[in-house]
Chain A
Amino acid sequence: MQWRHPWNNMIPEIGQLLMITALAAALLQFLIGLKLFTVDQSLRMILIKRFTLIQCLSIFLAICCLGYSFLNDDFSVLYIALNSNTNLPVPYKIAAIWGAHEGSLLLWMFLLSFWGVTLAFSKKFNDQDKMLKIYSLSILGLVSLSFILFIIYTSNPFERIFPMPDQGRGLNPLLQDPALAIHPPILYAGYVGLAIPFALALASLLTPHSSSWAGIARIWTINSWLFLTGGIALGSWWAYYELGWGGWWFWDPVENASLMPWLVATALVHSLIVTEKKGLFNSFSTLLAIIAFSLSLLGTFLVRSGVLISVHSFASDPERGLFILMLIGLFTGGALMLFALKQKRSAPLKLELLSRESLLLLNNVFLCSAAGLVMIGTLYPLVLELVNSEKISVGPPYFNFVILFPCIPLLIFVGLAMFSAWNGKGSKLLLRSSRVALLSILIGLVVSLLILSYDTPLTTIGLILAVWTIITGCLPLIRSRTSSLVKNLPMALAHIGLGIMVLGITVTSSYGITFDDTLGFGQSKTVGEYEFKLITINDRTGPNYTAKVAMVEIYSENQKIGTVFPEKRVYDTTSPSMTEAGIEANLFRDLFVALGEDLGGDIWSMHLQYKPLLRLIWLGPFIMILGGLVRLFLLKPLSETANS
């Protein structure tokens, strides 16, 4: 065993102390909001900013301590002994910090406190909004307080183990991949970012005179929406090339847990536009902000409590799950109660049916219904098992079907809204949109019937809606003068991205071809217009695994277009093998090869796929993200527009 400097043994203890410092800071941050120490507003402001900063720094340093111990292979820390070993490459030792439950909660906590700091030092608040800021930071303090307590009591990453093992168990090989290493921080940043609009919404209920919460909340909602979009897309891309059979969305409860907050965050972004610009839907926006963060918490509960593995494993070790359930009860219940008591009663709306306000409202309702359906499908088997011990599975066939109910009208209205005006009349709207609608239908029909072969009615509908969404998404760019081009760019990009994604999903799921077959060396198999030829299979040794590497040549019309090297890896630490797919891709099609089983005699089972336009499924979100980035960084600071 290597010699270690005695200081190194103290590092986890320092981390532990930093967690307690953060706990104290969060407590003070919360209490200052309650007028406990001083009533002087500017003093409270200074103090609450300081404590927010101290909390964030402490947690950051605690993560550094954990990382330091990871790099030092300090297996006296239980978490490190379980999730690392001496052979693990250094970048993955760092990624292993959030590779399992305890560390990922620590990261979750750090991001929460970091967003808190960005809010505390934000210049977007006017002078009248000081109390809004103090209250929202105080609420964030309460959220932090609960989660730091949760970490310290149920999921302490600094817990020691005695006697100290000589070697750690190693990181789950599934997680040893660049995309998955950065996936959790991005997704978590999105999840916890929703705590900011949540806190602002509650603070706005406590400060009835402040009206600018919507504009401020919109920035942080777009911000976390960006991270959620990026995190989900990255996760989907990772699943595609790493899980071995080339699917890109599985309706797995863990995926659903991230999709639900995304859907509601999308609705919230749109609802806040109306609240900010027209002063309408204030209650609806407040409610959405509460729901969005509650769904983040629900996602955390689903992923972290073990309830998904089995209701019974949850029941036998319910400590963590019950703690999170209590937090959901506290925050969701408390927030809804506050909402019921304090919401401003507004006069009944008088909306034109097809005005921009109505269409935005309708679409937000469809987005929320989609989230609701995903939630019902995800929770139903859990509830059914609890209630009458019946075990059922709810998976892709269910979700792919029910999600159409909100999504088809959603896409129709997304396009229609581009023709609408605030308080506009329905008849004008239909007149203006009819030409583009006819054009989209025509293009959709021609493409699905003549260019591609007819598949199902749903394919044709999907194509029409994709074309409709893309064209209507371009309209604000075509019609606007150059001065307002940048102003319309975020919306246009977000909607074009959506249309491109719908196009990708429709074409790839309707016209993709998958083949499972056996191939000997030198044999080939034709999938669609492509011929896959297995040349040979060799052994390879990586840093902490051994692999079988196949060489597969791909031909199209007897022209060689590429060679791929799918792998099957066996990591030293665990028995099941990992598939690394071989992918030859361009914008128009993906050719995918995964290595299956060795059947003896140089014959292997292979998984072959031709997926047209698959890349669009990730290109779409990428364009959406660009739109969000333009909104956040290229447009003038929002406070100026709010004042004008």
Chain B
Amino acid sequence: MFLLLPFQVVPDDLNTNLTATQQELYQGIIQEVRCLVCQNQSIAESNAELAKDLREEIFQQVEQGRNEAQVKSYLQERYGDFVLYEPSFKQSTYFLWLSPILILILILGWLRKIGVF
């Protein structure tokens, strides 16, 4: 146990400055991560304890130089698909992601049918 102590998180760690690029990355990620205990808020908006912990976790991962994909896959493994506001592209979301194209085809078909072109 004592061996772990030096690595424990103390609030002062937060004081470490991120570079401007890292801040942008951090801000981008926390807006796309859902707070799991709130009613539809991202962890950027939420004041819940879980959201604070997650923000701190992400802050440190960004500080350690991990990129967006790495942080997100870490969260996804730990909390499931629900935590990410960007649904992944898989069998159950094919329709969701392809809907813009489907709608476009429908529109073209309909316009053709009523004689616009």
**Which one of A350, A372, A516 contacts B103 once the chains associate, using CB atoms below 8 Å?**
A372
Contacts of A402 in B (CB 8 A): 99-100
User: Does chain B have a CB within 8 A of A517?
Assistant: yes
B 59-89 binary contact with A (CB < 8 Å = 1; else 0): 1000000000000000000001111111100
Binary contact readout B84-104 vs A (1 if CB under 8 angstroms, 0 otherwise): 111100001101100110011
Query: In the complex, are the beta carbons of A391 and B80 less than 8 A apart?
Result: yes
B residues within 8 A CB of A309? 39
Q: Mark B20-36, 1 if CB is under 8 A from A, else 0.
A: 10011011000110100
A587 CB to closest chain B CB, in angstroms? 24
Cα separation A579 to B47 with both chains bound (whole Å): 9
Bound CA–CA A250/B45 (angstroms) = 10
Which residue of B is nearest A284, CB measured? Answer: B114
Measured in the bound complex, the distance between the Cα atoms of B81 and A402 in whole Å is 20
Query: Are the C-beta atoms of A392 and B107 separated by less than 8 Å?
Result: no
B109 to chain A, nearest CB (A): 12
**Is A384 in contact with B32, judged by CB distance below 8 angstroms?**
no
Q: Closest CB-CB distance, B87 to chain A, in whole Å? A: 5
By the criterion CB–CB under 8 Å, are A353 and B86 in contact?
no
- Determine the chain A residues whose CB is within 8 A of the CB of B27 once the complex forms: 514-516
Tally of A-B Cβ pairs under 8 angstroms? 124
B115/A247 in contact, CB under 8 A = no
A350-B115, A603-B15 as given contacts; A393 in contact with B45, CB under 8 Å: no
Q: Is the CB of B107 within 8 A of A308?
A: no
Q: With an 8 A cutoff between CB atoms, is B14 at the interface?
A: yes
Interface residues of A in 111-151 (CB under 8 A from B): none
B116 at the interface (CB under 8 A from A): yes
A562: Cβ under 8 A from any B Cβ: no
Tell me the bound Cα distance from A396 to B28 in angstroms: 11
Tell me if B50 is interfacial: C-beta within 8 Å of chain A. Answer: no
Minimum C-beta distance from A310 to chain B (A): 9
Q: How far is the CA of A429 from the CA of B26 in the complex (A)?
A: 47
B8 interfacial contact with A, CB 8 Å: no
Give the residue name and chain of the B residue nearest to A403 (CB): B100
A373 pairs with B103, CB closer than 8 A: yes
Number of contact residues on B: which range applies? 35 or more
Q: Considering the chains assembled together, what is the distance between the CA atoms of A380 and B93 in angstroms?
A: 9
How far apart sit A422 and B93, CA to CA, in the bound complex (Å)? 42
Asked if B45 contacts A243 (CB within 8 A), the reply is yes
A369-401: which have CB < 8 Å to B?
369, 372-373, 376-377, 380, 384, 388, 390-398
Query: Which chain B positions have C-beta within 8 A of A372?
Result: 99, 103
Give complex CA distance A350, B111 in Å.
11
CB < 8 Å neighbour of B85 from A244, A376, A396: A396
- Asked if A190 is an interface residue, CB under 8 A from chain B, the answer is no
B52 is contacted by which of A380, A597, A600 (Cβ under 8 Å)?
A597
Q: Mark A240-258, 1 if CB is under 8 A from B, else 0.
A: 0001110100101100000
**Closest chain A residue to B82, Cβ basis:** A391
Check B32–A395 contact: CB distance below 8 A.
yes
A392 partner residues in chain B, CB cutoff 8 A:
81-82, 87, 92-93
Contact A358 B116 (CB under 8 A): yes
Question: How many angstroms between the C-alpha atoms of A394 and B32 in the bound complex?
Answer: 10
A398 touches B114 (CB 8 A): no
- Contact indicator per residue, chain A 619-640, by CB within 8 Å of chain B (1) or not (0): 0000000000000000000000
Q: Determine if A543 is an interface residue (Cβ-Cβ < 8 Å).
A: no
Contact A514 B100 (CB under 8 A): no
0/1 string, B36-57, CB within 8 A of A gives 1: 0001101011011000100100
Given contact pairs A373-B103, A405-B104, A394 touches B45 in the complex (Cβ within 8 A):
no
Which chain B residues lie closer than 8 Å to A377 at the CB level?
96
Contact A398 B85 (CB under 8 A): yes
Asked if B111 and A365 sit within 8 Å, CB to CB, the answer is yes
Q: Check A600–B86 contact: CB distance below 8 A.
A: no
Bound form: Cα–Cα A351–B112 in Å: 11
Using CB atoms, name the residue of chain B closest to A357. Answer: B116
Docked-complex contact A393 and B23, CB < 8 angstroms:
no
Would you call A393 and B103 a contact (CB within 8 A)?
no
By the criterion CB–CB under 8 Å, are B96 and A393 in contact? no
In the complex, A392 Cα to B59 Cα: how many Å? 24
* A395 to B11 Cα, complex, angstroms: 31
* Contact partner, B42, options A380, A394, A395, A579, Cβ 8 Å: A395
Given A394-B85, A396-B32, A380–B80 Cβ distance below 8 Å? no
A395/B116 contact (C-beta < 8 A), A377-B96, A577-B47, A605-B14 known: no
Beyond the given pairs A243-B45, A250-B45, 12 more chain A to chain B contacts, judged by CB atoms under 8 angstroms and listed by A's residue number, are A351-B115, A362-B116, A365-B110, A373-B100, A377-B96, A380-B93, A380-B96, A392-B87, A393-B87, A395-B86, A405-B100, A516-B27
Query: 28 pairs across A/B with beta carbons < 8 Å?
Result: A243-B45, A250-B45, A308-B40, A349-B114, A358-B116, A361-B116, A362-B111, A365-B111, A369-B100, A369-B103, A369-B107, A372-B99, A372-B103, A373-B99, A376-B96, A376-B99, A380-B96, A391-B80, A393-B34, A393-B84, A395-B32, A395-B86, A398-B96, A405-B103, A514-B27, A516-B59, A576-B48, A603-B15
